[in-house]
């Protein structure tokens, strides 16, 4: 038989609230939240490991493609989130969530970031999202993205 | 016989020790982490605004003005300094946590949330538990004049927050199939990080060459058992301490393998050590002597406050920065204004390993002493 005190009741109610908050996470993302979902998947990697990647490329006026370093490009944003910034931009463009003013602001911002690096020869930028595959037997990774999705941002 | 499913009272920590922990917590922030700054955010970045669905930032259409973030950063800095010195500690600790969480709401509005939350919510629980009662500029006593009231409820609530967060992580790993014998989940995430970040260290280089299935399953299962087991360990404080020791090793491995410095939890784990046992080893009664000014703590506080004053100087001169640099980064000239440098993080984790080994040593010595007394 448990010796229940007021502290026990408060504690159990608190734990119940924590579990309810975890259930509420099913509705969408919360912040602040004590639910830590990172690193949860465990796909079958006996033959190959496939993982999502994203990159940004600059397109010059003669059509050649140059890989850009996101870390340097988004110099004034939190460094560990730069991959997600690419995803956010791509998602908003592909789902037509940007207003005309926001698109203009985005172009202005990207041009400023490129100019800062002395890169003013690009007519557009392309965000490429896809998967990369690691071969478990040969321990080599494919350099090309599989199932790529392109998002084009015309600068001029 | 009455059985206690959860031993709430066992989590009591004398406020004198909690106050010492408050100083150590603030020193850790000053020396290893640095304080966040929100001055880099403004409505100019509205085209990147993508907050979590259910968050304070999610209620609005974009970032507030730059002035809002400047005021928020300054307030957070002032509340931290006041909390450190123990000025109106209960109020300033909660205000520090609230302003920091509010700022992080907007930092995480670019499509990604970091889970470095524990060090921000700990001041709320610990201030209620009495971490501002001693070693403070102005001590606010309880109505009855006693400061050593039963604070175990607030401490176990913090323990439950840690345990629950670890459990949710473990449980989702379980749902994701980490327990399947064929899966090599840790290996998959290492490969993924290795080729997406490209910024991992030598341990990762070595582990990429390991192909033994048993080794990877050992990593998978130990992570699962540790994270899920955390929730059940809160029933007894000594069980919880055991899991915290495991958690410390776990976070060190995560740093070495994935280059993810999960400092948020490491700093908070320290509060759960056996304070009594440590001071007993040195025959020093900290509870009786903590009201007196202790020179070492005073020097530590004075040195740290110099760094905080430097942060105030940076606030007015440095413009848009993401964080105020920690003491190690200032001393090594790295001035990392975006995230803590690798050096400071490695030193923090090395310090936590030293504390862990020291605590194990103290436990061993005390057990040997107790056995000797018993045999006599």
Q: What is the pLDDT of residues A109-133, one digit of tens each?
A: 999 999 998 888 899 999 999 999 9
Considering only CA atoms, which of B159, B164, B117 is closest in space to residue B264? B117
Residue A150: left if φ>0, alpha if ψ -120 to 50, beta else—which one?
beta
Cβ–Cβ gap B110/A78 under 8 Å: yes
Considering the domain architecture, whether residues A92 and A138 belong to the same structural domain is answered as yes
**Interface contact A20, partner B, CB < 8 A:** no
Tens of pLDDT, residues A21-30: 999 988 888 8
Considering the domain architecture, whether residues A128 and A102 belong to the same structural domain is answered as yes
**Interface contact B206, partner A, CB < 8 A:** no
When pLDDT is averaged across residues A55-63 and rounded to a whole number, the result is: 90
* Percentage of chain B lying above the pLDDT 70 cut: 95
Using CB atoms, which residue from B44, B168, B177 is nearest to A22?
Answer: B168
Considering the domain architecture, whether residues A26 and A55 belong to the same structural domain is answered as no
Residues of chain A contacting residue B339, judged by C-beta atoms under 8 Å apart: 78-80
What pLDDT sits at residue B143?
A: 47
**Interface contact B338, partner A, CB < 8 A:** yes
Considering the domain architecture, whether residues A32 and A57 belong to the same structural domain is answered as no
**Residues B264, B352: Cα–Cα separation, whole Å:** 12
Residues of chain A contacting residue B247, judged by C-beta atoms under 8 Å apart: none
Say whether the peptide bond before residue B168 is cis (omega within 30 degrees of 0).
no
What pLDDT sits at residue B2?
A: 60
Considering the domain architecture, whether residues A8 and A75 belong to the same structural domain is answered as no
Mean predicted lDDT score pLDDT of chain B:
90
End-to-end Cα, chain B, rounded Å = 31
Cβ–Cβ gap A88/B182 under 8 Å: no
**Residues B44, B62: Cα–Cα separation, whole Å:** 9
**Interface contact B173, partner A, CB < 8 A:** yes
When pLDDT is averaged across residues B84-104 and rounded to a whole number, the result is: 96
What total of structural domains would you count in chain A?
A: 2
Tens of pLDDT, residues B240-280: 999 999 999 999 999 999 888 999 999 999 999 999 999 88
| Residue in B with minimal Cα distance to A48 | B188
Instruction: Check pLDDT > 60 for residue A1.
Output: no
Task: Residue count of chain A, please give it.
Answer: 156
Considering the domain architecture, whether residues A20 and A68 belong to the same structural domain is answered as no
A155 to chain B, closest Cα gap in Å: 15
Considering the domain architecture, whether residues A17 and A77 belong to the same structural domain is answered as no
Considering the domain architecture, whether residues A97 and A123 belong to the same structural domain is answered as yes
Considering the domain architecture, whether residues A28 and A59 belong to the same structural domain is answered as no
Considering the domain architecture, whether residues A33 and A86 belong to the same structural domain is answered as no
- pLDDT-derived band at B101 (thresholds 50, 70, 90) equals very high
Compare B225 and B367 and report the one with higher pLDDT: B225
Considering the domain architecture, whether residues A29 and A57 belong to the same structural domain is answered as no
Q: What is the largest CA-CA distance in chain A?
A: 81
DSSP A48-113: EEEEEEEEEEEEETT--EEEE-HHHHTTTS-GGGHHHHHHHHHHHHHTT---HHHHHHHHHHHHHH
A58 to chain B, closest Cα gap in Å: 19
- pLDDT-derived band at B146 (thresholds 50, 70, 90) equals very low
| Residue in A with minimal Cα distance to B49 | A88
Using CB atoms, which residue from B104, B105, B161 is nearest to A34?
Answer: B161
What pLDDT sits at residue A10?
A: 93
Its domain, for residue A53, covers 48-154
**Interface contact A118, partner B, CB < 8 A:** no
HSE toward the beta carbon, residue A139, CA cutoff 13 A: 9
Considering the domain architecture, whether residues A60 and A9 belong to the same structural domain is answered as no
* Percentage of chain B lying above the pLDDT 90 cut: 72
């Amino acid at each position: 038989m448990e010796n229940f005190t007021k502290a026990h009741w408060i504690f159990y109610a608190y734990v119940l609230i924590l579990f309810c908050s975890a259930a509420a996470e099913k509705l969408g993302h919360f912040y602040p939240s004590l639910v830590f979902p990172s690193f949860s998947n465990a796909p079958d990697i006996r033959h190959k490991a496939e993982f999502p990647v994203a990159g940004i490329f600059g397109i010059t006026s003669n059509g050649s493609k140059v890989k850009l370093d996101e870390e340097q490009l988004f110099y004034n944003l939190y460094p560990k989130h730069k991959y997600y910034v690419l995803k956010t931009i791509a998602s908003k463009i592909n789902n037509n969530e940007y207003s005309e003013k926001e698109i203009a602001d985005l172009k202005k911002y990207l041009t400023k970031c490129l100019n800062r690096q002395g890169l003013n020869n690009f007519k557009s930028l392309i965000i490429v999202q896809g998967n990369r595959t690691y071969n478990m037997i040969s321990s080599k990774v494919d350099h090309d993205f599989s199932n790529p999705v392109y998002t084009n941002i015309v600068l001029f | 016989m009455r059985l206690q499913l959860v031993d709430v009272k066992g989590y009591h920590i004398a406020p004198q020790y909690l106050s010492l922990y408050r100083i150590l917590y603030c020193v850790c922030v000053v020396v290893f982490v640095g304080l966040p700054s929100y001055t880099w955010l403004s409505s100019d970045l509205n085209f990147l605004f993508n907050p979590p669905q259910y968050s304070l930032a999610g209620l609005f259409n974009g970032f507030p003005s730059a002035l809002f973030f400047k005021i928020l950063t300054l307030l957070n800095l002032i509340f931290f300094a006041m909390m450190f010195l123990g000025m109106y500690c209960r109020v300033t600790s909660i205000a520090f946590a609230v302003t920091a969480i509010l700022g992080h709401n907007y930092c995480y509005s670019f499509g990604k949330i970091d889970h470095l939350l524990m060090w921000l919510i700990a001041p709320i629980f610990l201030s209620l538990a009495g971490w501002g009662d001693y070693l403070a500029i102005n001590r606010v006593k309880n109505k009855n004049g006693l400061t050593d009231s039963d604070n175990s409820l607030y401490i176990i609530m913090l323990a439950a927050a840690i345990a629950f967060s670890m459990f949710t992580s473990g449980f989702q790993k379980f749902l994701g199939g980490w327990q399947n014998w064929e899966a090599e989940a840790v290996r998959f995430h290492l490969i993924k990080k290795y080729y997406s970040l490209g910024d991992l260290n030598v341990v990762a280089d070595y582990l990429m060459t390991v192909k033994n299935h048993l080794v990877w399953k050992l990593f998978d299962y130990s992570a699962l058992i540790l994270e899920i087991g955390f929730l059940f360990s809160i029933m007894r404080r000594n069980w919880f301490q055991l899991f915290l020791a495991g958690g410390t090793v776990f976070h060190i491995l995560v740093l070495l393998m994935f280059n993810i410095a999960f400092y948020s939890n490491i700093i908070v784990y320290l509060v759960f050590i056996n304070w009594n046992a440590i001071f007993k080893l040195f025959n020093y009664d900290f509870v009786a002597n903590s009201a007196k000014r202790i020179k070492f703590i005073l020097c530590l506080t004075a040195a740290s406050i110099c760094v905080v004053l430097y942060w105030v100087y940076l606030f007015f001169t440095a413009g848009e920065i993401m964080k105020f640099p920690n003491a190690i980064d200032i001393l090594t000239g790295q001035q990392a204004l975006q995230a803590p440098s690798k050096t400071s993080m490695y030193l923090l984790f090395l310090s936590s390993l030293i504390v862990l080994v020291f605590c194990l040593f103290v436990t061993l010595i005390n057990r040997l002493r107790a056995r000797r007394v018993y045999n006599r």
